[in-house]
Structure 1
Amino acid sequence: MEPDAAAAVGARLRATRQARGLSLGALAARAQVGKGSLSEIENGGRNPTLSTLYALAGALGVPLSTLLAERTGVEVSSPGIGARLLDATRHPDGTTVEVYLLHLDPGARHVSTAHGPDVVEHFLVTHGRARAGLPGQETEVGPGETAVWESSAEHGYQALGPTAVEAVLTIRSPSRDSDRAS
């Protein structure tokens, strides 16, 4: 993540945390993130991983794109996976739709935390083969195929075979009263 993006993410994270009335320590405990790491992220001094940002977004009850300050083009990653925000739209009814370009390295598996009730993901593979969805309910998909699931529980993505996977991930989050404060 570029320095200006890291600063914007940190500022948005701090503002969202403060709007929720949470101390740094309380958010760190909820998200299971070190307090020092959280402080560094909020101050723009550390690039957060995709996993860390998902944990923080979940603990705050907001879509990931909220913490990315809806900055299209921002890229975040964790080992084996990268995501670039292509679009984030908040509709008048409070529903948020996020669109990401995902890249999974060959053989990579990524586990994502729950995103809240009624959050639905659409995972459209454009290259390679993947398995995605809720544990025990994963769908194997190839180019032009889509897996869909409600991500109110831990879920994941796994690249199958010797090639990388490229996919478009759409996440639709319903309105939450707490979202309107951010």
Structure 2
Amino acid sequence: MELAAQVGRRLRKLREERGLSLSELARRSKIGKGTLSELEAGRRNPTLETLYAITTELGVPLSSALCPPAVHAEISGGAVDALLTDRFEDAVAVTETYRVRIRAGRTQVSAAHAPGTTEHIIVLGGTARVGEVTAPLLIASGRHGTWAADVPHLYCAPADDVDAVLLVRYPV
């Protein structure tokens, strides 16, 4: 639960820095006020989908809720387990590197991230269906792909588990 407490403190700080009430952030992110309150208090583990919804509305990359100091933080969603392994920031963009596993037979749809955000995947094992919901890519082991992440996008492992490296690049 230590990660949940760290994430909760970070989310509260980010929200307060932007002058948003708990109710306003809940409304904008479409996350229940009670859920958001429990997350900020560290009493609830956040899902990948929930963190993306909140950080998108706060206008920050996902890793901003995890760092500092939680590089190597693992979070999960409906189909994806993601381990943040690195975060690089320069004057142009914030780039996050994740080691991901997409669970077999599962699909996860992610809401649009901040404008200009892109995602890049290298599939290490399995075959993934990823990318924009309207035109997903089928990427086999040893291959890679890129898509716009500022529109709804998905992650799917049609057969076996998929292991991959995912880079998410947010423009500054």
- Band the TM-score falls in, shorter-chain normalisation: over 0.9
2:158 aligned with 1:168: no
**Contact 1:114/1:151 (8 A) holds in 2:** yes
Cα RMSD (Å)? 1.1
Alignment of 1:1-182 (within 5 A): 3-70=1-68, 71-91=70-90, 93=91, 95-161=93-159, 163-175=160-172
Tell me, yes or no, if the aligned pair for 2:126 and 2:163 is still in contact at 8 Å: yes
Which blocks of at least 5 consecutive residues in structure 2 are unaligned? none
Q: How much does 1:24 deviate?
A: 0.3
Q: Where does structure 1 differ by over 2 angstroms across 4 or more consecutive aligned residues?
A: none
Confirm or deny: 8 A CA contact 1:9 1:67 kept in the other structure. Answer: yes
Question: In the alignment, what sits opposite 1:180?
Answer: none
CA contact (8 A) 1:31 1:59 kept: yes
TM-score normalised by length of structure 2: 0.96
Count of paired positions: 171
Higher deviation after alignment, 131-140 or 44-53 = 131-140
Q: Is the 8 A contact 1:58 1:113 kept in 2?
A: no
- Tell me the secondary structure at the aligned position of residue 27 of structure 1: helix
Q: Aligned equivalents of 2:102 and 2:133: distance in 1? A: 18
Q: Which consecutive residues of structure 1, in runs of 5 or more, have no partner in the other structure?
A: 176-182
Change (3 A) 1:94 1:16: farther
